[in-house]
Chains A and B, each alone.
Chain A
């Protein structure tokens, strides 16, 4: 799976889960999602479930921190590192 495929899937999820009705062009790859409150505590859990189901990876609690989930770029990098 390429980084672009991961990115597209992640962007679709975020737009459908946390940014319903938002113009997709406004979801930039470096937009803060966790630290801006767009993805809240329940959102983190749904994001984690999505990443596990969609990409077949296992996410541990300590991996849900902002360093891995604050931006689309960070999420893509995290998933890519999990996929090896």
Chain B
């Protein structure tokens, strides 16, 4: 039989149409047939979810990572979406101090310079927020919000973070007459859930807040949730909390010999345990201090659905802790081009517009749940029968 001459046009066309037809038929069949994983995998959802998790992981880069595969694996990662070398992570900048035994790094007080295209603007108390004082001003109700990079406002000016937009709106009367409100931004890019819990338990108290809002984001839920814990083990640091020590012991980790990857794998089944521990600790702190705590779920644009699914899977844990929660996962719904709300194609943190949408949604959620607004902001003085919450000095200096 001749090897030459190639394939006939008719045969080529038939093969092509058979291939394309088969792919289209498979698309029509797989979904309804319930082969969800296969269909999601073929459609790229699994890859996109993993890439999002990898992006999140790499975004808060682990200094101890043995290193991404720079060899053959990069064929699969593709070079179409490179992160420019000057697009630094927070801990790669001059804006942090590495003097925290548990947190490892913190925002450097008075740090300036640029971070992801916006002024870093850390105040003298080490918060990426407007200047303030350690002691609350008389007559001002103080709310501490604890979270990671979205709260911190990576890539947007301090005044444009959703937390400050909400503060301005509440002070202007968007939710009735709440008096003077000050919302403190304790957000630090890269902090995992165990770190956020530590901020609540160990740091916010010095600022004497009247209420605390704890942000739940994808860093608490995605496969990279344990990164900070693994760092602590790798660096032989004190885990500080018995709950964490117990969790590590149950995971069977031998920090002396297990690699970073092995520790991560061993911790995989314990994500919910860490979440439960953290929420219990925060609930206990609430009871001990009398400071009300509310949870706030946030995510980046275009990935809210995935975060929502993960959050739904741990909803029972959240409910068991007895802490109320508002969700801003729908903040970007209906936006015609969610990807335009990303800082850059390789960085999905919200833009200024994204923060505005988050702020609008938070205010709207509070308007729909006035009890939670009262819990955090104090009663609406314009409502009949409301009793203003005492905040600091009882004098009214409005």
Please give the residue numbers on chain A whose beta carbons come within 8 Å of chain B beta carbons, in ascending order. Answer: 19, 22-23, 26-27, 31, 38
Q: Give the A-binding residues of B (Cβ under 8 A).
A: 2-5
Cβ contacts under 8 Å, A31 to chain B: 4
Q: Is the interface of B mostly helix, strand, loop or mixed?
A: loop
Q: Complex Cα distance A38/B2, Å?
A: 12
Provide the residues of chain B in CB contact with A26, threshold 8 Å. 2, 4-5
Q: Kindly report which residue of chain A lies nearest to residue B3, judged by CB atoms.
A: A22
B4 to chain A, nearest CB (A): 4
Q: 6 closest A-B pairs (Cβ-Cβ)?
A: A26-B4, A26-B2, A23-B2, A31-B4, A22-B2, A26-B5
Residue of B nearest to A21 (CB): B3
A71 → B minimal CB distance (Å)? 12
A73 to chain B minimum Cβ distance, whole angstroms, is 16
C-alpha spacing A31/B6, complex, angstroms: 11
Chosen A-B contacts, 13 in total, with CB atoms closer than 8 Å, are A19-B3, A19-B4, A22-B2, A22-B3, A22-B4, A23-B2, A26-B2, A26-B4, A26-B5, A27-B4, A31-B4, A38-B3, A38-B4
B5 / chain A contacts, CB cutoff of 8 Å: 26
**Complex interface: chain B residues within 8 A of A38 (CB):** 3-4
Closest Cβ of chain B: how far from A1's Cβ, in Å?
27
B3 contacts which chain A residues (CB < 8 A)?
Answer: 19, 22, 38
Bound complex: CA A19 to CA B5 (Å) = 13
Interface centre among B2, B3, B4, B5 (most CB of A within 10 A): B4
Given contact pairs A22-B2, A27-B4, a sample of 11 additional A-B residue pairs in the complex whose CB atoms are under 8 Å apart: A19-B3, A19-B4, A22-B3, A22-B4, A23-B2, A26-B2, A26-B4, A26-B5, A31-B4, A38-B3, A38-B4
Nearest opposing residue in chain A for B6, CB measure: A36
For A27, the chain B residues whose CB sits under 8 A away are 4
How far, in whole Å, are A26 and B4 apart by their CA atoms in the complex? Answer: 7
Kindly provide the distance from the CB of B2 to the nearest chain A CB, expressed in whole angstroms.
5
Separation in Å of the A9 CB from the closest CB of chain B? 20
A26 CA to B2 CA in the complex, in Å?
8
A19 to B2, CA, bound (A): 10
Q: How far is the CA of A47 from the CA of B4 in the complex (A)?
A: 19
**Distance between Cα atoms of A31 and B5 in the complex (Å):** 8
